[in-house]
Structure 1
Amino acid sequence: MGAKMTEQLLGEPAAGRRTKILSHLDGRTPGRSLPGALYTDPDVFTSEVELLWRRRWLFVGTVAEVPEPGDYVTFDVAGSSVLVIRDDDEQVRAFHNVCRHRGSRLVTSGNGSVGNLVCGYHSWTYATDGSLRYAPQLSPEIDTTCLGLRPVALREVGGLLFCSLAAEPDGDIDLVADQISGYLTPHRLDRAKVAAQVDLVEEANWKLVMENNRECYHCEGGHPELTCTFFPTWGLREDQVPDRLRPDHDRYLLAEADLMRRCDELGIPHRLIEDLVDRPLGFRIQREPLDGVGESFSADGARLVGRLLGDLDDPQLGRCTFHSQPNAWVHLLADHVVTFAVTPISPDRTLVRSTWLVHEDAVEGVDYDLETLTAVWRATNEQDATFVRNTQLGVSDPAYVPGPYNDAERNVDDFVRWYESQIRSEAQEKGGAR
């Protein structure tokens, strides 16, 4: 078969899928949720993998997950497995988790620690920097320097790790890093450790998972544990606050003023920076007050960990919340950090990985109780899983008609606008736009 014919056979289905996803986007009414097919169609999902997940910077974890040389974690997305490892020189690197011999998965566990990376199939052995060290019975005429593990672009931002599967990653990560690093560094994730990590597979499209996180419209009735410390008026303008929530909002304003004063005294940035629609790595970051004592995610807002992060000595720093598109949100508090990484599995299944970090010297059972530390977000995640599962069922129903967003859902609308913009720009680059 000729190369041209092969290219046509491979290219036409992809072009057809791109045409389909663009057609669905053409049918969207601005200010309303997406058409149902964009949450359910397998061809749409395949196009998203091609146009988005293999092209954008993805949150994969934190430096605290690979604290020592030889420590590694894997991140599986869009059919690719990425191996993130700290090498013998203390540098965190990322590689495709694929042996350079005949393609076997190099490591099969989600995390661990190694001296060398040894393929379980034919014992090809790689150093932690990815170079090939040993290949039994390989001809001496073969240049082994060309057979190291294939690198994946990796960028650390204040202890958060992002990777890109693109052959030529965009430089947006550096521009974002310049704006958010100051918010992250006081928490010193390089001096933190993993207290717990929970994987939850939610039965919904990845966009529904992200949309659900981008609003608290559902929080008042849906998250009783979370709203012990989350103010129920989050996302509402002053003129939108209903009378029944006015006491909560007045309390929020007082807590906000006190938090801003504390942050200014400590030289900790707190203002809102939001660029959610127009850039490849859409993001939002802000330090906001917590209700009650204002220290942590607990029933009364009091701290959950006796040892504060980094060199912080004031526990009443609320929450610094960072989220990025397509797949992350992070809450940084004085006593702990909780990160969330979203990865699509199929059109209607999504993995949400939640990771709790505490100070590297904090002792479980002495400085914190693990059950109490994780209680609020374990409950909240389970509640959200139910919400998005029911929504997936609804958008799959022929009776579904996209409904209008309200002002409290403006970040949802921003996410959807970002999604449409990124899909269109990538499809146009690949020749699929009309």
Structure 2
Amino acid sequence: MKVSNSLRELIAARRTGFNLDAPFYTADEVYDLDMEAIFGRHWIYVGVEPDIAEPGDYFTVKLGRASIVVLRDDDMAIRAFHNVCRHRGAQLCNELSGSVGNLVCPYHHWTYDLTGQLIHNQHMGENFECGKHGLKTVHVGNLAGLIFICLADEPPTDFEQMRETMEPYIGPHRIADCKVVAQDDYVEAGNWKLTLENNRECYHCVGNHPELTQSLYEFGFGYQPSSSNAEAVQEFRDLIEREHARWEAAGLKSAEIERLDSCVTGFRTLRLPLDRDGESQTMDAKVACQKLLGDLTDRRLGGLSFWIQPNSWHHFMSDHIVTFSVQPIDAGHTLVRTKWLVHKDAMEGRDYDLKRLTEVWLATNRQDGALVEMSQRGVASPAFEPGPYSPYTEALVEKFTNWYVERLRAAIA
């Protein structure tokens, strides 16, 4: 991996407890390193099982210059391939999603089955060996219905540890028995790390997210204790203890697990109660879908949040799931893809109203996008210098930047 001395010095000089220096957010050289060292070597969340519910269903994802096709084969296994024909390199699938019997190159019609094997071509001579020209595979990880890919030859091995830890948390929500009823692809005018930093704190939530804070407790994501809020903070802690005991007794894992910067595949999870005797992340904090997920019967299961480095976060409620993936476009633009899932048998108009289901996070995404864009303009200013993180409300941002810088150091060592 070729890295300039100036970039090595920038990485070495990172100051703990402060946000990153401007080139981390603005320089093309850093973006190129991010795509190779972070998105090219780690497990990247790309979709959910219901995206490819049937054999032949596929979706494509772009990571830097790499295009990947993720599909369900005839045996219902999930596979991923580089979206490149082995003949002269034409892109095989040119839509975001679809369904096929085989993968047929639109250029010269080389045909691959759903396991990636070349099964048909013409004019290549009698001695041509199809078996040597199958599609190039990409590693796939499935965590209770969340689909991850890894472009590295040898992916991080701790994915299995994360999967074993998280399946009991996510399993009762039964992603495979859901359907995706809405998807929002929104491009933020900012670097992907600003998108992640913004997500990893709620310091900004009050005053910026009026829809989201209808159901989120003010103290749920960090708060500096003081004499004026001590009683309210203690009440919230007592509520968490009571609700965790109730949920755990019902077989729902709820306790915090925090490994954001202590693992190669960093992650964190926690189930928190919702405000206003809340049931779901909606404007009135009531369920958005009357048909609950899996075999769940209690609407008041709070919100189970799951954060994974480097590119995703997810919210699981009794009635629906919201998943988010981050895909860098260039140094100053980032795609945020949001999906809403409900039970596969839920019917629009009877069980759920799509506007009510999506309105909180559609609004929140646009508000976050505006904040990220403002941050991008700020870090590009010659007056910018890294400022200190709050130890109370931005501790998870520090863990993200710690993880990020340590992964760069490991890659260039």
Match of 1:298 in 2: 282
What residue ranges of structure 2 are gaps of 5+ in the alignment?
Answer: none
Distance in 2 between residues matched to 1:116 and 1:147, nearest whole Å: 15
Match of 1:410 in 2: 395
Distance in 2 between residues matched to 1:198 and 1:308, nearest whole Å: 23
Contact 1:241/1:249, CA 8 A, preserved across alignment: no
Match of 2:103 in 1: 117
Counterpart selection for 2:177 from 174, 191, 214: 191
Match of 1:357 in 2: 341
Match of 1:270 in 2: 254
Offset at 1:420? 0.8
Contact 1:192/1:357, CA 8 A, preserved across alignment: yes
Offset at 1:176? 1.1
Offset at 1:233? 1.7
Match of 1:203 in 2: 189
| TM-score, structure 1 normalization | 0.92
Over the matched positions of the two proteins, sequence identity in percent amounts to: 41
Whether 1:144 and 2:130 are equivalent positions in the alignment is: yes
Match of 2:376 in 1: 392
What residue ranges of structure 1 are gaps of 5+ in the alignment?
Answer: 1-10, 429-434
Offset at 1:22? 2.2
Q: Amino acid of the residue matched to residue 274 of structure 1?
A: E
Whether 1:41 and 2:46 are equivalent positions in the alignment is: no
Match of 1:401 in 2: 385
Distance in 1 between residues matched to 2:148 and 2:67, nearest whole Å: 14
Offset at 1:251? 5.7
Contact 2:225/2:233, CA 8 A, preserved across alignment: no
Distance in 1 between residues matched to 2:283 and 2:227, nearest whole Å: 24
Match of 1:420 in 2: 405
Go from structure 1 to structure 2 and tell me whether the alpha carbon gap of 1:213 and 1:130 turns closer, same or farther (over 3 Å shift).
Answer: same
* Mapping of residues 32-431 of structure 1, within 5 Å: 32-236=18-222, 240=225, 243=228, 249=233, 252-253=236-237, 255-407=239-391, 408-428=393-413
Go from structure 1 to structure 2 and tell me whether the alpha carbon gap of 1:422 and 1:224 turns closer, same or farther (over 3 Å shift).
Answer: same
Q: Amino acid of the residue matched to residue 299 of structure 1?
A: M
Distance in 2 between residues matched to 1:292 and 1:261, nearest whole Å: 19
Per-residue CA shift, 1:94-135, capped at 9, x if unaligned?
A: 111111111111000001111111111111111111111211
Match of 2:3 in 1: 15
Per-residue CA shift, 1:268-321, capped at 9, x if unaligned?
A: 111100111132111001111111132111122110001111111111101110
RMSD: 1.5
Q: Amino acid of the residue matched to residue 270 of structure 1?
A: S
Per-residue CA shift, 1:202-246, capped at 9, x if unaligned?
A: 000000000000000000111000000111122335x62573x66
Secondary structure (helix, strand or coil) at the match of 1:15 reads coil
Go from structure 1 to structure 2 and tell me whether the alpha carbon gap of 1:306 and 1:138 turns closer, same or farther (over 3 Å shift).
Answer: same
Contact 1:55/1:169, CA 8 A, preserved across alignment: yes
Go from structure 1 to structure 2 and tell me whether the alpha carbon gap of 1:344 and 1:258 turns closer, same or farther (over 3 Å shift).
Answer: same
Per-residue CA shift, 1:309-366, capped at 9, x if unaligned?
A: 1111111101110011110000011101000000111111000000001101011111
Distance in 2 between residues matched to 1:68 and 1:226, nearest whole Å: 34
Between Structure 1 and Structure 2, which shows a larger proportion of helix residues? 1
Distance in 1 between residues matched to 2:48 and 2:12, nearest whole Å: 38
Secondary structure (helix, strand or coil) at the match of 1:153 reads strand
Which segments of structure 1 move beyond 6 Å, counting only runs of 4 or more? none
Contact 1:187/1:310, CA 8 A, preserved across alignment: yes
Distance in 2 between residues matched to 1:132 and 1:241, nearest whole Å: 66
Contact 1:252/1:289, CA 8 A, preserved across alignment: no
Distance in 2 between residues matched to 1:146 and 1:358, nearest whole Å: 43
Q: Amino acid of the residue matched to residue 351 of structure 1?
A: L
Secondary structure (helix, strand or coil) at the match of 2:3 reads helix
